[in-house]
Amino acid sequence: MLKMNHNHMNHSMHMGNFKKRFWISLVVAIPILLISPMMGIKLPFQLSFYGSNWVVLILATLLFFYGGQPFFKGAKMELMRKNPAMMTLIVMGITVAYVYSLYSFIANLYNPNMKATNFFWELSTLILIMLLGHWIEMSAVSNAGNALQKLAELLPKTVRKLNKDGSEETISLKDVIEGDHLIVRSGDKIPTDGTIIKGQTIVDESAVTGESKGVKKYISDKVIGGSINGEGTIEIQVTATGEKGYLAKVMNMVADAQREKSKLESLSDKVAKWLFYVALLSGILAFIFWYFLTNLSEALQRMVTVFIIACPHALGLAVPLVIARSTSIAAKNGLLIKNRNALEQANEINTIMLDKTGTLTKGKFTVTGIEIVDKDFSKDEVLSYLGALEENANHPLAISIMNYLKEEKVTYHHADSIKNISGVGIEATIKDRTVKIVNEKEIKRLGLSIDKKFIERYQEQGNTISFLLIDKHLVAMIALGDAVKSESIQFIRTLKERNITPVMLTGDNENAAKIVADYLGIEEYYADLLPDDKEKIVKKYLDSGKKVVMVGDGINDAPSLARASIGIAIGAGTDIAIDSADVVLINSNPTDIVHFLNLAKETRKKMIENLWWGAGYNIIAIPLAAGILAPVGIILSPAVGAVLMSLSTIVVALNAITLKAK
């Protein structure tokens, strides 16, 4: 069986934790805010009663360990990676605030005249604001889902095994071994990779390979676990199970790519890292300076003031508020943003890799055009003859025609004496007339004239043209294929205008790929690709210093979506592709990628502004708190630091609201 990767935390559980933790922490913090002074300033609404200092200590201790728990975990991970960032900065702030306040409490208990300042108020507000910031961000960024879980669900739990004595039995998929013979009936999921040893069928591999056209399979042909058996029962010999199977390989590629991506450092983490080092160095230098200049108590208070002023109240809200606003605008415009880093990285993108089927094309093999040559026949009559010819055929083109007729709700005639003409098409007697559907080669052999403009228009998009003959007279031309989306040409043009290189990736053959690439004006393209080929190409471009967006819709795109700088899934695609991506185009319109790039540009601009507002006050406040201007009589008091901190938080919130989408 396929093994799941558990390294990725469940997003909705995370969000629920922050939400619950915030509300419980708020209840605990309210009494602290009402009783404890703000950086030594007694506020007008504050209460005081016998034993109130004990109430504050007990509640602050609860808040420190309960509300601070996610930040302790995060800081531990950052320090294990030797990369301190936001979590480490928060933990430094709350730990210093708590430990020093505990020291002040004990000092005041033994010497009431000492009146040592405590920072329980700052501890409470920092924990609350940080929990709120994380909750806002988790709520804003869509549930990432679990691509790996959904990949595992593609396979059935039980299979029909054919024993050597000819009997059948139902067994668990995990008990299947290489060499087993399995029965796969029409409409069933193919449980493992294997080779057909009996029967023939058409397999729907679209969920696995992204190819829209059903694939005809005969004895000795290979089948992929997770694809769907179409017409007919087949017997397969298992060639790979569990970890060796195609889906398992895809899962491993997705998991590896997600692990690599999780190491990306966000803008706010970069700012927090430098702020941590600056605060740590400033605090230590301040302690040394004031210790030799005054005494231990004054030196300690000066150091603690530096550490607490460095607490990122505004910084904690700077990015989450912008992300919340940005994702809200995106959702209203058909974009689902699932990874905040996508908004930050979009400005550096210089290459967009596009899966052909389902992204640039509609991803559905069907009738793309009909040209009536004989005006005595209506479109419905032509379709009625087509339906009669193809009703009992089971090749991929016939299935596409019949699906189209169902959508058009066409009632078709009855056909007699149907026969396949090898290398030509199908012939039948319909309403006492000889009716054929043939290829272009047969039309040329018969010397019939055809509309070359119609042929060229559809063939340049990679369509197959069939011809309907009634009594050797050409009646209609039918184009079949996976139609290029009407928006794709303008989309490719816009990318080039922005100096972004479009690259097309497809599992189709070289000829089909070239036709579509030439039609759309794409110079770089890769054909005949397997999923790991796509992922390798993305990695090759990344390794060469390119910033790559990958756009796709199938399971075969999942590894490359996870690997790319930004993975964008088409909303009409598979769940696995959607779960592996950073952004989802709800309307499946490639033009929305341009809208995403525009929004990301505005979002990053706001993020940088907010980070300056959030961290900017520290640039002034930290040196002043350390006492750099003490020789001229200017020392920043904790009270002034608190006012500056509050102002920067308000500015950050107001600035986030002004984000607009162009």
Q: What is the rounded (10 degree) CA torsion for 274, 277, 279, 281?
A: -140
Whole-angstrom distance, CA of residue 561 vs CA of residue 577: 7
Residue 425 and residue 436 in contact, taking contact as beta carbons nearer than 8 Å: yes
Token digits for 111?
């010497």
Quick one: the chain helix, strand, coil %, rounded to 5?
55, 15, 30
Buried b / exposed e over 190-202, threshold 16 CB at 10 Å, is: bbbbbebeebebb
| Residue 174, SS3 per DSSP | helix
Backbone angles phi and psi of 168, in degrees to 5: -110, 145
Pairing of strands 201-204, 215-217: antiparallel
- Of the CA atoms within 13 Å of residue 374, those in its CB half-sphere come to 15
Any catalytic annotation for residue 557?
no
Q: What contacts 274, CB < 8 A, 6 or more positions away?
A: none
Token digits for 38?
């703000």
Catalytic residue among 180, 193, 355, 579: 355
Residue 541 and residue 353 in contact, taking contact as beta carbons nearer than 8 Å: yes
Q: What contacts 511, CB < 8 A, 6 or more positions away?
A: none
The three-state (H, E, C) secondary structure of 383-430, written as one string: HHHHHHHHCCCCCHHHHHHHHHHHHHCCCCCCEEEEEEECCCEEEEEE
Please give the sequence-ordered ranges of beta strands (E in DSSP) within 268-343, or none if there are none: 335-337
Residue 538 and residue 552 in contact, taking contact as beta carbons nearer than 8 Å: no
What residues are paired with 38 via a beta bridge? 41
| Catalytic site positions | 355
